[in-house]
Structure 1
Amino acid sequence: MRASRFGFCVALLCAALSAGATDRGSGHFRKGEVRLEAKHVIAVTVDEEGDAASAQTYVYLSSVPMDAGKVASAFQPSSAAEEQLRDASAGYVRICINAEGGECGLYFSHNNPNASFNSSGYGVFKLEAAPAGRINGRWVLAEPDDFFGETYDFDLNFDVAITPPPGKPLPADGGEPGKAYRTWTTAIAKGDLPALRALVGDDYNSWRIKSDDQDDVKGALKDLRDGTPVQAKVLRGRIDGDNAVLWVEGKDRDDILRRGRVSLARVEGAWRFMEADLDSVSE
């Protein structure tokens, strides 16, 4: 009984320490004459693979505050991060950390002056022990390296809570969003423009499919057919209010296996296709 009470107290203490921990991000990234001083940090789970166990963590060290919730809930997290820089003289460094705890790339982005840079495999990357739901580490390249005549170096430190994507799992078949996506792929395969016009939700496909110019319509339909599975299998899905993400796979009309994510939104009570991020994969 005493041992059980002790274990319970330790668990409560660990939870309290984790909940009360302060997020810390510091250091710098320099590329040529552009230098970023990291003053703010967020971390988000990036769940893009068909297998949820392969989810990555993105740590953003920035010169301006970022909204972790907006980045975590975005279909394209780094696009959401870019939007938060706006037109200010500001920037961030994004550190990718894989499910095994190794680095999977560093990306530097800065506005006014504009600069960007990708790197992986350089310097020393190390994670420290951290409570569940947090990530703590450092990535440093102490001696400047050269990239096409311009030197760069960095020293980045972080200890931060990880913000997961919002929402809850969908049923195995994708539920109503899954049904809507299968209707979408069927309409593409058949070239059913009235159905596509009713199902499309994003601006790019919307104006092309609904255009009075038949060349626009034909081009949109060809683009969709080239990269969309004829019959899609839903691997899993997640729903957050009126937004849903499906992980799908299937062969397109050229018998190429496609796998990736699809974004849908409920508009006026009906699920509509917003965008997709599908890659060709080996069987």
Structure 2
Amino acid sequence: MASLFASLWSIPQAAIAAGNASGYFRLGEQRIEPRHAVAVQADSEAAPGEAETWIYLSVSPFDAAPVAAAFDPDDGVREQASDEPSGSYVKLCVTADGHECGIDFAHRGPTRNFSSGGHGELALVAQTPQRIAGTFKLPEAEDFFEETYQFDLTFDVGLTPPPGTALPAGGGEPGKAYQIYLTALAQGDFDVLRELAGESGAYRFPQDDPTSAKETLKSLRDEQPVVAEIARGRVNGDQAVLWVKGEDRDDIMRAGRVLMKRTDAGWRFEEAELDAVD
């Protein structure tokens, strides 16, 4: 499966990005009728074959490439969605084994947001690494506080995988930089942290204000592994994603993704999306 996903990275994005949608989503008086769709892998799991598919059904078309490349695909969509009603969209989450894992509604002008899960009937007619198609319906309106919502959506869209190439075992240079960062956090090595933080290091870890520096250190340590096992990694230009796992300072196992960015001074930790796991 991993080699199949790797081969898909070489497919031109424009060849697989376009998709069609029809139907409607209604929340109270806000209703949209999407006509466009993009689908990307929300590649948050350590095993590539477990990736969820996030389908964005929109009134106006989105460019799938920046959505697939974003650390959080939602950010890639929000950056393209206008503040007008034409920027409204529905996001449908589908698991690797073909089950619904949530639906979100983002209405623009006025702004309304809605999230739900476990409601509606999903029927897929295609789910391959190249394409996903089907319907998602809520035949009878359901209550949402003092309003009702209902939807009947159809989609047929090519799947745009995350761009990039696989990193070697241990995460390569981005993985080494992340381990150095974790060691500096664990040891409270402010000199190394200032260097790793680049221009922001001087004010994040001020030498003349040890109390402020320690507060920053404490917040950065929260929910970060003390030592991490890097299951795999992917690099795309100056951005790398690592899939990591390790115990934090409270002996809680954390697992998820880490975003690293390359600067003139080398790879730097950018952000993490880690959850507590058994």
Q: What TM-score does the superposition give when structure 2 sets the normalisation length? A: 0.88
| Cα distance, 1:134–1:150 mapped onto 2, change above 3 Å | same
Q: Secondary structure at the match of 1:105?
A: strand
Candidates 265, 269, 274, aligned match of 2:261: 265
Where does residue 178 of structure 2 map in the other structure? 181
Gaps of 5+ in 2: 1-14
Where does residue 230 of structure 2 map in the other structure? 234
Where does residue 11 of structure 1 map in the other structure? none
Q: Deviations over 1:187-210 (max 9, x none)?
A: 00111122112223697x885345
| Cα distance, 1:192–1:161 mapped onto 2, change above 3 Å | same
1:149 counterpart = 2:143: no
1:50 counterpart = 2:46: yes
Where does residue 166 of structure 1 map in the other structure? 163
Q: Secondary structure at the match of 1:219?
A: helix
Q: Is the CA contact (8 Å cut-off) linking 2:186 and 2:221 kept in structure 1?
A: yes
Gaps of 5+ in 1: 1-18
CA distance in 1 between partners of 2:39 and 2:203 (Å): 35
TM superposition shift of 1:87: 2.5
* Letter aligned with residue 252 of structure 1: D
Candidates 242, 247, 272, aligned match of 1:246: 242
TM superposition shift of 1:21: 11
Where does residue 29 of structure 1 map in the other structure? 25
* Letter aligned with residue 131 of structure 2: R
1:85 counterpart = 2:81: yes
1:108 counterpart = 2:105: yes
1:68 counterpart = 2:64: yes
Q: Secondary structure at the match of 1:217?
A: helix
CA distance in 2 between partners of 1:256 and 1:168 (Å): 31
CA distance in 1 between partners of 2:61 and 2:205 (Å): 39
* Letter aligned with residue 72 of structure 1: A
TM superposition shift of 1:42: 0.4
Where does residue 10 of structure 1 map in the other structure? none
Give the count of matched residue pairs.
263
Candidates 187, 196, 202, aligned match of 2:193: 196
**CA RMSD across the alignment:** 2.2
TM superposition shift of 1:122: 1.8
TM superposition shift of 1:212: 6.4
Q: Which has the larger radius of gyration?
A: 1
* Letter aligned with residue 44 of structure 1: V
Q: Deviations over 1:114-165 (max 9, x none)?
A: 1111122222210003665011110011221111120111111100100000
* Letter aligned with residue 104 of structure 1: C
Q: What TM-score does the superposition give when structure 1 sets the normalisation length? A: 0.86
Q: Secondary structure at the match of 1:48?
A: coil
TM superposition shift of 1:261: 0.6
Identity value in percent: 50
Q: Secondary structure at the match of 2:185?
A: helix
1:279 counterpart = 2:271: no
CA distance in 1 between partners of 2:83 and 2:180 (Å): 40
